Amino acid sequence: LGSILSWDLNDRPDLENRALQAKKALQAMMPNVFRNPHVSTHVKRMLYMAIPMNLLLWGCETWALKESDWNILRVFHTSSIRRIFNLSMAEVQENRIRNVDLYPMFEIDPIDNIVASRQLRWLGKIAMMKETRLPRKFINAWHPNPRPVGRPLTTIRHTYLRALKLIDELDESDSAGKLDGWMRTIRLNPPDWETRRLALTPHIIGFQSPTNIE
């Protein structure tokens, strides 16, 4: 599928390209799959996760997501569910259907949880790597040059800390985020880590065994 690397290391071009590909796939599947009355909701959800969602989130394990980027993902997810159920905005407003009401209709999880689950799976793999592996080295890498004036840019570290907070691995006041701490937690009890990760997306099926994150 490929990824787009920007000169300034911004993930927005890659995210927008992934969203475009996912929209095309969703549109192509709409008449024969998602609007087909003979296809069950369960099958529609599985196909939605297998094709449009995988196209959208390809490479999300290493995305440094700003709030505006999260909004792109949320809009795609909720608008896709509305299209699958053929809900117009007029019906949504008339019946006061909120975004959180759409997830139970499709028996699916919020995209924040889906992304976090994928990122935590990648973090689990990094924690089990030898310290000589490049991904393991990069997770603790830093640059010695002085930081520019102003608020620091959003990095992959911020996104990982957000995911860790969703499974209560970090306290809300722990802004530094002790990376060595969660890596030690994974190595000590991989099944427990995987169980908590899977709990973020209880509606998604087909995961590997909780004991298999190596």
- In this prediction, residue 1 carries a pLDDT of 63
Q: Which residues of 150-188 are buried (b: 16+ CB within 10 A; e: fewer)?
A: eeeebebbebbbbbbebbebbeeeeeebebeebbebbee
> How does pLDDT run across 151-164, given as a tens digit for each residue?
777 888 888 888 88
pLDDT at 206 over 60: no
Over residues 85-110, the mean pLDDT reads 87
Over residues 108-113, the mean pLDDT reads 93
- In this prediction, residue 75 carries a pLDDT of 93
- In this prediction, residue 178 carries a pLDDT of 58
pLDDT at 214 over 60: no
pLDDT band per the 50, 70, 90 thresholds, residue 116: very high
pLDDT band per the 50, 70, 90 thresholds, residue 21: very high
Instruction: Identify which has the larger pLDDT, 205 or 145.
Output: 145
pLDDT at 78 over 80: yes
- Integer Cα distance of 58 and 103 in angstroms: 22
Over residues 58-77, the mean pLDDT reads 92
- Integer Cα distance of 163 and 100 in angstroms: 19
- Integer Cα distance of 117 and 114 in angstroms: 5
- In this prediction, residue 141 carries a pLDDT of 74
pLDDT band per the 50, 70, 90 thresholds, residue 73: very high
Question: Residues of the chain with pLDDT > 90: what percent?
Answer: 34
Average pLDDT, the chain: 83
Residue whose entry in the numeric block shows the structure tokens 């939605």: 48
Burial of 198 per CB tally in 10 Å (0-12, 13-18, 19+)? middle
pLDDT band per the 50, 70, 90 thresholds, residue 170: low
DSSP notation for 3-70: -PPPTT--SHHHHHHHHHHHHHHHHHHIIIIIT-TTS-HHHHHHHHHHTHHHHHTTTGGG----HHHH
Predicted TM-score (pTM) of the model is: 0.84
Over residues 9-27, the mean pLDDT reads 92
